[in-house]
Amino acid sequence: MPQHDQQIGNYTLLEKLGAGGIGEVWKARDRRLNRVVALKFILKERDGSSTTRDLLREARAASALNHPNIITVFEVGDSQDSTFLAMEYVQGETLKTRMSRGPFAIEEARDIARQVADGLAAAHREGILHRDLKPENIMIRADGIVKIVDFGLAKTMPWAQPDAAENDIGATLSAGTQTGQLLGTYTYMSPEQARGQEVTPASDVFSLGIILYELFCGAHPFRQATVLDTLNAIITKEPPPCATATETVSRALRKNAAERFASAGELSAALKLTGTMATGSDPPATRKARWPIAAVLAGVLAIALLAAGAVWYLRPSPNTSGPPIRSIAVISLRAPNDDARASPVLEGLPEELSSALAQNGFQVASMSAVKRVSEDDPKSAGAQLGVDAVLAGNVRSYGSKYKVYAELINTRTGFQVWSETFTADAEDAVAGPKKTAGEIVAHLVAAVKR
């Protein structure tokens, strides 16, 4: 196994961070870039085993993602005795360690919940399921930034898999998903995982729902004395009542996958829209002792909400945080540098979006005007163009399909008004962008004007 100060490829080992049955994790220095990284090692004698395939799956899944709440993977390498994964070094602690120290303050719990949901939503947008989300696989940096780690059981959805003839990554990521297998950590499985059934993004949502319940209620909702009893509780029992968990948490924990949020993107939006707590994060005993005060505050809050509701009803558009959105600029439709198949879509989609927006009554900034401003900061670009909002996004091809992630950003506030992901066939480079643009604008109009 690796040793302190050992030179492995371009890395110098500094400190062992952990060890398990399959190998070790070390803190190391990348001598080329003079940065600290983490190296996860798999023993060579296990090369070709499922653990090595998991390491490659983790590397390929995580490297396909680019999000501040997901661990960054740099490369997969080989040493004399082992295969290793070089990834971002996170100086901090796992969520499990943080949970062991006691209850969370309300804002701390909300912040962690939103960051985890945002990271998982990014994975789902790329068609990647984590399948092993748990507090041990969530790191909290010293500055409060949350990172989802360990994509060793990741799986790609069929629509996101490249053609097998072109690339074997899809097949690699999809390995080990036969019906009947129990994959994941049993205490954080969804009911369908516990039954050995096929998983979907809603399965990850259930696992995150368990974590949210722990964050806000201070206990695991289903844990029992034995593995079988815990799995039975996940499949058949409802979580114990918890005054600090709202409908958002309850919906994430529905037994029927069709009744949950369809993806982490929907859950993330719900967390941002409504929050996740009904009251403070005091323990139950403290809440009971202060119920008269809580009752008075609830009455005051109800009156305030009624007044706020009247103001909200009278606002011109509930999704724009102010005056209604009447003018839009289409900017920042981008694709990975190595994604040549996305180029035809990138060339035709902005004009089709502008045309569809104009047909739906919006004032649209000309493409020539958009090219004259910097698109790195959507809020600033929108202000320079004098529009109410900007429509930005990215395009990515997946074999015979492409996916477009679109978001509308309010120029006055810089806040996201709406976002959604769309998938379409890439066969028709002429009619495809027009059809996709029509679908995007139809959903945008429904969200902004409802």
CB 195 within 8 A of CB 235: yes
Q: Residue type at 358?
A: A
Q: Is 54 annotated in the active site?
A: no
Cα–Cα distance between 90 and 77 in angstroms, integer? 20
- Of 99, 95, 106, 101, nearest to 244 (Cα)? 106
Residue 173 contacts residue 156 (beta carbons within 8 Å): yes
Sheet-wide strand order for 23-30: 7-8, 11-20, 23-30, 35-43, 82-88, 73-78
> Kind of pairing, strands 389-398 and 327-334?
parallel
Question: Which of these is catalytic: 30, 54, 118, 132?
Answer: 132
CB atoms within 10 A of CB 156: 24
Residue 406: phi, psi to the nearest 5? -120, 145
Backbone angles phi, psi at 366, to 5 degrees: -70, 150
> What crossing angle do the helices spanning 106-125 and 264-274 adopt, rounded to 10°?
150
Of 9, 272, 237, the C-alpha closest to 121 is: 272
Task: Give the 3-state secondary structure of residue 59.
Answer: helix
Task: Supply φ then ψ for residue 28, to 5 degrees.
Answer: -145, 165
Catalytic machinery residues: 132
